[in-house]
Amino acid sequence: ARVEEELGDVLFAAAQLARFLDLDAETALRRANAKFVKRFTWVEQQLAADGLKPGPDHLARMETLWEQAKRVEIEEASDAG
């Protein structure tokens, strides 16, 4: 319960920061979630190409792929701009 309370404080502070910056916290969270889903889907596709599935046995590989997904995302953004 104590950790949950502290997490709530962190989330409240983040929402206050968004307000201070004149940003919509919900929009920021939705975009972050969409980015996560896009990256994780990419990781799943790469694993599947190797005949693997996400899971605790492949955490190191998943971490490597996650970093690659971020680089791919940056490259796609620079190609589009």
2-47 pLDDT, tens per residue? Answer: 999 999 999 999 999 999 999 999 999 999 999 999 999 999 999 9
42-80 pLDDT, tens per residue? Answer: 999 999 999 999 999 999 999 999 999 999 999 988 888
Q: How far is the C-alpha of 18 from the C-alpha of 22, rounded, in Å?
A: 6
Find the DSSP H helices in 1-81: 2-20, 25-49, 59-80
Q: How far is the C-alpha of 73 from the C-alpha of 76, rounded, in Å?
A: 5
Predicted local confidence at residue 26, as pLDDT: 95
Q: What is the pTM of this model?
A: 0.80
The CB-side HSE value for 50 (13 A sphere, CA atoms) comes to: 12
